[in-house]
Structure 1
């Protein structure tokens, strides 16, 4: 089986965030994501998943020179940032896309799917 990354991008200008949504709006989404996660586990597709803090919680590390430089972030220059993700196992891209459709419905947002590189 191939592993796929399903990401949940957020648009910093338009998308509601956990910080600015009414808890009554968030709870159904959290419940739907929990149900989706349980389905992934039950069907053996679950590898790992997680939600991420906003870009303001970022710390940059650059150890490409003589000394490592650690800097408070964020360093996002785009309108989108990664809000969360799933790592799943699926037989092929079509199966991963089927999971992504369910994940998109559960988290009430757009998702993106990328296969991991084959390191064999």
Structure 2
């Protein structure tokens, strides 16, 4: 089995859903998706991130994201047979949350 991260990115200052009802429906669909991943035994970890960010380097600390543009909003870590399986689950995740999903394989 291979670990992959399926990630959701949001553009700061924009609403990811057209309405509160759309958001609630997406949260319910994502909850069902998460339960299926858990019951299938492929879910390693899932979580959403709060919007606040701090950038830390060896020399400094600053408030805000490390770069402009889309920011990581949440992710799933899954353990599946191969990239094709990860991409299949990413399609389902995208349908559930209504957002594009980035698929990245862990090194090693």
Q: Write the distance in 2 (CA, Å) between the matches of 1:75 and 1:104.
A: 24
Alignment partner of 1:78 out of 61, 64, 68: 68
Q: Write the distance in 2 (CA, Å) between the matches of 1:30 and 1:75.
A: 25
Matched residue pairs, number?
108
| 1:98 counterpart = 2:88 | yes
Deviating 4+ runs (over 3 angstroms): none
| 1:47 counterpart = 2:44 | yes
Structure 1: gaps of 5 or more residues = none
Q: Is the 8 A contact 2:8 2:73 kept in 1?
A: yes
TM-score by length of 1: 0.80
TM-score by length of 2: 0.88
Q: Write the distance in 2 (CA, Å) between the matches of 1:79 and 1:33.
A: 24
Residues 56-111 of structure 1, C-alpha deviations (whole Å, 9 max, x = no match): x112222x25xxx433x203432211111000011000000011000011111100
Which residues of 2 match residues 52-63 of structure 1 at below 5 A? 52-54=49-51, 57-62=52-57
Structure 2: gaps of 5 or more residues = none
- Partner SS state of residue 85, structure 2: helix
CA RMSD of aligned residues (A): 1.8
